[in-house]
Amino acid sequence: MKWFPDYNYILASKSPRRQELLESLGITFQVKIKSVEEKYPDHLKGEAIPEYLAKLKSFPFLNELSDRDLLITADTVVFLEDELLGKPGDLAEAAFMLHKLGGKEHQVISGVCLTSSVKQIVFHAVTNVLFKKLREEEIQYYLSAFQPLDKAGAYGIQEWIGNIGITHIEGSFYNVMGLPVQKLYEEILTF
């Protein structure tokens, strides 16, 4: 039985986590990458930022989509007490972020944009995550054994740091990985 509408699905993301999550839905898709400068207007706050960036990532594809194409673009950000924590620039910044996240609840917000040649919708999902107070040696081990620089907030929930550090989660686990697959599934069905 085929669950999904009959589109040529395109995922515009080099993230192996997003690719893995979309694959887990049983969707056949191709990956296409186009470079976009991920800047947003200063007045945007909260969920408006990843929604804006997800839509921005669709722009280079707009003139190329056929009637049967459905483009999926996404962006994930971390907010701690209204401060945006993006991808760290280096290991020192990653360590600083992990220290800040320790012992506090933060929000992970993913914006997703679905684009066809005739329609575009943007939506988001929010997950609340609580880390324990992380020990310096735990942070240093994570930084040396994993790759935190390509992740918003400097961590992957599915990695060692998530296993030993996260004490509570409210919302979609997969959203924290970078793609709210349950919500994406529902949005594709009604697209």
Q: Which sequence positions are flagged as catalytic? A: 75
**Spatial separation of the C-alpha atoms in residues 182 and 131, rounded to whole Å:** 24
Using CB atoms within 10 Å of the CB of residue 53, give its burial: 0 to 12 exposed, 13 to 18 middle, 19+ buried.
buried
Q: What is the CA radius of gyration of the chain?
A: 17
Residue with tokens 């994993």: 146
Report whether 112 contacts 191 (CB < 8 A): no
Strand partners, 129: 106, 169
What is the C-alpha to C-alpha distance for residues 12 and 37, in angstroms, rounded to an integer? 14
Three-state SS for 134? coil
Distance CA 2, CA 128 (A): 33
Nearest partner of 48 among 3, 79, 87, 17, judged by Cα: 79
Q: Give, rounded to a whole angstrom, the gap between the first and last alpha carbons of the chain.
A: 19
